[in-house]
Structure 1
């Protein structure tokens, strides 16, 4: 994976979290699920699903990564692959978008298509 500059990382990470925020707020507003809460503050996106737990997705500028803490699969770190235009976990080779799509679709009992790869 090629190295992002600090400026490129900041733009890509912020864009990723903003797209997730809008998508998750839409889910919260449009699905008939009462216990969903979405917050984004200072680079930390939190999705609380009452009966599942809390997802925390945040920027890690020193490492140029996005970190995820999932109540289902646990913590993972994601690096941006510029050729695939996606965040990938080095340990699992799964993208952030694929993991969130799989887990949230199952947890919310809805087929979801997240706006990130």
Structure 2
């Protein structure tokens, strides 16, 4: 079942806020910015990760300098954001991509 607008916005804000905290805790980013549903994180060497809302589809989109573009929808049954192609968790993709450039994250 798809999220209604209110639940989508609540889940989106929780997701972006969580990743802002996680990325900030690494100390590996020169710039971190969360504004208007877009989280942008740039490493010291210019690699930019972007998590942003996609309101029409009620998704979160990831742009990664490691693996490219990915789209995630919230799965209420599993309690998280999962790829619309293949079902991979957003958290798993971010951990893998960050790990490939030497940034470890907890959890």
TM-score, length of structure 1 as denominator length: 0.83
| Pairing 1:45–2:21 present | no
Match of 2:31, SS state, is strand
| Counterpart position of 1:54 | 48
TM-score, length of structure 2 as denominator length: 0.90
Moved over 4 A (4+): none
Match of 1:108, SS state, is coil
Q: Where does the alignment leave 5 or more consecutive residues of structure 2 unmatched?
A: none
Task: Provide the aligned C-alpha RMSD in A.
Answer: 1.6
| Aligned residue runs from structure 1 range 1-117, under 5 A | 2-28=1-27, 33=28, 36-51=30-45, 53-110=47-104, 112-114=105-107
Q: Where does the alignment leave 5 or more consecutive residues of structure 1 unmatched?
A: none
- Distance in 1 (CA, whole Å) between partners of 2:14 and 2:51 is 13
